[in-house]
Structure 1
Amino acid sequence: MVYLIDFILFLAKTATLLIGFVVAILFLVSLRSNNAQSGGKIEFKDIGDHFEQIKEGFLEFKNDESDSKRDEKKSESAEKAPLANSENYAAEDGALDPDAVTAEKSSTKKEAISAKKFWQFWKKEEAPKVEQKEKTLYVLEFDGDVHAEEVKNLREEVSALLHIANKNDEVLLKLTSPGGAVNSYGLAASQLVRIRDKGLNLTVAVDEVAASGGYLMACVANHIVAAPFAIVGSIGVVAELPNFHKVLEKYNIDYEQFTAGEYKRTVTMFGENTDEAKAKFKDELTEIHLVFKDFVHQYRPSLDIQTIATGEYWLAVKALEFGLVDELKTSDAYILDAIKDKNVYSIKYIEKTTVRQGISRFLTRIMKRVPF
Structure 2
Amino acid sequence: MEFLSEYLGFLARTATLVVAVLIVLAGIASLRAKGRRKGGGQLQVTRLNDFYKGLRERLESALFDKDALKRLRKEQSRDEKAKRKARAKAKTTETKGRVYVLDFDGDIKASANESLRHEVTALLTLATPRDEVVLRLESGGGMVHSYGLASSQLARIRQAGVPLTVCVDKVAASGGYMMACIGEKILSAPFAVLGSIGVVAQLPNLHRLLRNHDVDVELHTAGEYKRTLTVFGENTEKGREKFQEDLDVTHKLFKNFVVHYRPQLNIDEVATGEVWLGVSALERKLVDEIKTSDEYLAERARAADVFHLHYAERKSLPERVGLAASGALEHGFARAWSKLTAARFW
What are structure 1's unaligned runs of at least 5 residues? 1-31, 69-127
Partner of 2:277: 315
Distance 1:224 1:162 in 2: 21
Amino acid at match of 1:346: H
Partner of 2:134: 172
Amino acid at match of 2:227: R
CA gap of 1:41–1:240, structure 2 versus 1, over 3 A, is: same
Whether contact under 8 Å (1:228, 1:315) holds in the other structure is yes
Aligned partner of residue 51 in structure 1, secondary structure = helix
Task: Give the percent of matched residue pairs that are identical in Structure 1 and Structure 2.
Answer: 46
Aligned length: 280
CA gap of 1:359–1:262, structure 2 versus 1, over 3 A, is: farther
Amino acid at match of 1:190: S
Task: Tell me the CA shift for residue 245 of structure 1.
Answer: 0.5
Aligned partner of residue 164 in structure 1, secondary structure = coil
Aligned partner of residue 159 in structure 1, secondary structure = helix
Amino acid at match of 2:271: A
Partner of 1:52: 53
String of CA shifts for 1:210-241, please: whole Å, max 9, x gaps.
Answer: 00000000000000000010000000000011
Task: Tell me the CA shift for residue 358 of structure 1.
Answer: 5.7
Amino acid at match of 1:146: I
RMSD (CA atoms): 2.7
Partner of 1:289: 251
Partner of 1:333: 295
CA gap of 1:292–1:160, structure 2 versus 1, over 3 A, is: same
Distance 1:56 1:141 in 2: 26
Aligned partner of residue 209 in structure 1, secondary structure = strand
Whether contact under 8 Å (2:128, 2:161) holds in the other structure is no
Task: Tell me the CA shift for residue 50 of structure 1.
Answer: 1.0
TM-score of the two chains, using structure 2 as the length reference: 0.75
Partner of 1:198: 160
Distance 1:291 1:364 in 2: 32
Whether contact under 8 Å (1:40, 1:349) holds in the other structure is yes
String of CA shifts for 1:313-350, please: whole Å, max 9, x gaps.
Answer: 10010010110000000000000110111111100011
Distance 2:189 2:146 in 1: 25
Amino acid at match of 2:99: L
Distance 2:275 2:248 in 1: 19
Whether contact under 8 Å (1:133, 1:342) holds in the other structure is no
- 1:344 paired to 2:272: no
What are structure 2's unaligned runs of at least 5 residues? 1-29, 70-79, 85-93
Whether contact under 8 Å (1:176, 1:210) holds in the other structure is yes
Whether contact under 8 Å (1:146, 1:364) holds in the other structure is no
CA gap of 1:59–1:361, structure 2 versus 1, over 3 A, is: closer
- 1:188 paired to 2:150: yes
Computing the radius of gyration from Cα coordinates, the structure with the larger value is 1
Amino acid at match of 1:170: E
Task: Tell me the CA shift for residue 59 of structure 1.
Answer: 2.9
- 1:227 paired to 2:189: yes
CA gap of 1:284–1:358, structure 2 versus 1, over 3 A, is: farther
Amino acid at match of 2:202: E
Whether contact under 8 Å (1:215, 1:232) holds in the other structure is yes
Whether contact under 8 Å (1:133, 1:341) holds in the other structure is no
TM-score of the two chains, using structure 1 as the length reference: 0.70
CA gap of 1:67–1:159, structure 2 versus 1, over 3 A, is: closer
Partner of 2:16: none
Distance 2:193 2:143 in 1: 19
- 1:302 paired to 2:303: no
Partner of 2:240: 278
Partner of 2:20: none
Partner of 2:179: 217
Within the candidate set 102, 106, 126, 1:144 is matched to 106
132-141 or 301-310, which moves further after superposition? 132-141
